[in-house]
């Protein structure tokens, strides 16, 4: 059983999704500003939090960005434009949300914390009222999202995720969304630097592990920069970094006869006993002759295998009756 599965089950007990329309809230709000397009600074964030009675919580991994330059950098690295449809997970008090809307993009923001979700449309109505009709806020746990309960992107050939993800559940969120939304074509996320390094690690690296190889099943990830601690409120005790991911184009994905579940089961088994050779780690998982059929040396360790090699192992095991 993978850590991803454990975290996903534990987080999936959150409230069922409800939606809030930014349009109606903006229309009735009396708090408008002449500075249309103004992004949030430290004073704005603290005022909004105090007004709404919101305090950042460790439970939801909340560290709000207080620097307009940082959120504009995130949006720039994501390549978001006016024709794009964007999903944001964990919008918080709206720093990154405003920067995304500033581009002219349409977006859906998914927030698990009810008071925060309730406040967000009011913030957009105050700071960027002309963009209110391009935002929909959904109150939900990101790990429960699926096309059935988030139909916003059903008509899109491709959409992008742009987010400052809660550090404690970043990897499960990314893998869950990629699994459930075939048209999630790219993402640009800010995560803990250690997580960013693992997501973008290559075979043979000491930090290459299950997140690295599972993400490589779907596409290519790379680290595109670091973020200082002083741009957050409260300041975290860890460094942050940006990860860019692009899904494989048709024909580029690993050509597997086995299912994703079969391949991921081998990955989990191989890294579950990281110090052991493949032969020792997988001896109870694959039939005899699997390594020879796949053309893979059984004395190697899982941390040296590419996703394509894990696919070859799974296919060989399947052909031999696993």
pLDDT tens-place string over residues 241-268: 999 999 999 889 888 899 999 999 999 9
Find out whether 78 and 188 touch, Cβ atoms under 8 Å: yes
Q: Which residue has the tokens 């299950």?
A: 210
- According to CATH, the topology of domain 260-319 is Helicase, Ruva Protein; domain 3 (1.10.8)
- Find all residues with CB under 8 Å of 64, minimum gap 6, and list them: 45, 49, 56, 92, 93, 95, 232, 233
Q: What confidence tens digit (pLDDT) does each residue in 99-109 have?
A: 999 999 999 99
According to the annotation, is 65 in a ligand binding site?
yes
Q: Which ranges in 155-306 belong to alpha helices (H)? A: 170-180, 193-199, 210-218, 260-272, 278-282, 290-294
The answer to which of 99-103, 137-141, 144-148, 163-167 has the lowest mean pLDDT is: 163-167
pLDDT over 80 (residue 130): yes
> Residue 90, annotated ligand binder?
yes
Domain with CATH 3.40.50.150 in the chain: 3-247
Identify the pLDDT of residue 52: 84
- How far apart are the C-alpha atoms of 310 and 303, rounded to whole Å? 11
Q: Has 164 been labeled as part of a binding site?
A: yes
The chain-wide mean pLDDT, for the chain, equals 88
Q: Any binding-site annotation on 262?
A: no
What is the average pLDDT across 190-211?
95
Q: Is 79 left (phi over 0), alpha (psi -120 to 50) or beta?
A: left
Is 63 known to sit in a ligand binding site?
Answer: yes
Q: How many CB atoms within 10 Å of residue 146?
A: 12
Between 29 and 307, the higher pLDDT residue: 307
Token pair, residue 147, equals 């096309």
Predicted confidence at residue 36, as pLDDT, reads 39
Q: How confident is the model at residue 321, as a pLDDT?
A: 83
| Cα–Cα distance, 86 to 156 (Å, whole number) | 11
- Fold for 3-247, please state it: Rossmann fold (3.40.50)
The pLDDT of residue 157 is: 97
pTM for the predicted model, two decimal places: 0.86
Q: Where in the chain is the domain with CATH 1.10.8.100?
A: 260-319
Residue 141 labelled as part of a binding site: yes
Question: What whole-number distance in Å separates Cα of residue 66 and Cα of residue 164?
Answer: 12
Q: Which of these, 25, 26, 99, lies nearest to 68 by C-alpha position?
A: 99
pLDDT for 211 equals 96
């Amino acid at each position: 059983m993978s850590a991803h599965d454990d975290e996903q089950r534990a987080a999936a007990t959150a409230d069922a999704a409800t939606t809030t329309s930014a349009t109606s809230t903006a229309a009735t709000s009396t708090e408008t500003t002449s500075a249309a397009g103004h992004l949030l600074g430290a004073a704005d964030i603290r005022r909004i939090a105090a007004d709404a009675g919101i305090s950042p919580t460790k439970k939801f991994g909340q560290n709000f960005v207080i620097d307009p330059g940082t959120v504009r950098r995130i949006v720039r690295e994501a390549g978001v434009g006016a024709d794009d449809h964007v999903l944001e997970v964990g919008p918080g008090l709206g720093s990154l949300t405003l920067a995304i809307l500033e581009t002219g993009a349409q977006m859906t923001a998914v927030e698990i914390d009810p008071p925060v979700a309730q406040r967000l449309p009011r913030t957009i109505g105050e700071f960027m009222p002309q963009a209110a009709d391009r935002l929909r806020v959904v109150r939900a746990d990101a790990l429960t999202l699926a096309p059935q309960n988030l139909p916003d992107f059903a008509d899109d050939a491709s959409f992008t995720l742009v987010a400052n993800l809660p550090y404690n559940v970043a990897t499960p969120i990314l893998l869950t969304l990629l699994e459930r939304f075939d048209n999630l074509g790219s993402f640009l996320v800010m995560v803990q630097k250690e997580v960013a390094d693992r997501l973008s690690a290559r075979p043979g690296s000491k930090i290459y592990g299950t997140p690295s190889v599972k993400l490589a099943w779907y596409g290519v990830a790379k680290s595109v920069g670091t973020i200082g601690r002083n741009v957050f409120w409260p300041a975290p005790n860890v460094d942050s970094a940006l990860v860019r991911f692009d899904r494989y184009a048709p024909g580029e994905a690993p050509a597997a006869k086995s299912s994703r579940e079969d391949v991921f089961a081998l990955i989990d088994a191989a890294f579950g006993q990281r110090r052991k050779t493949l032969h020792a780690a997988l001896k109870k998982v694959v039939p005899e002759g699997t390594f020879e059929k796949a053309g893979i040396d059984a004395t190697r360790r899982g941390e040296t295998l590419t996703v394509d090699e894990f696919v070859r192992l799974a296919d060989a095991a399947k052909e031999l009756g696993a």
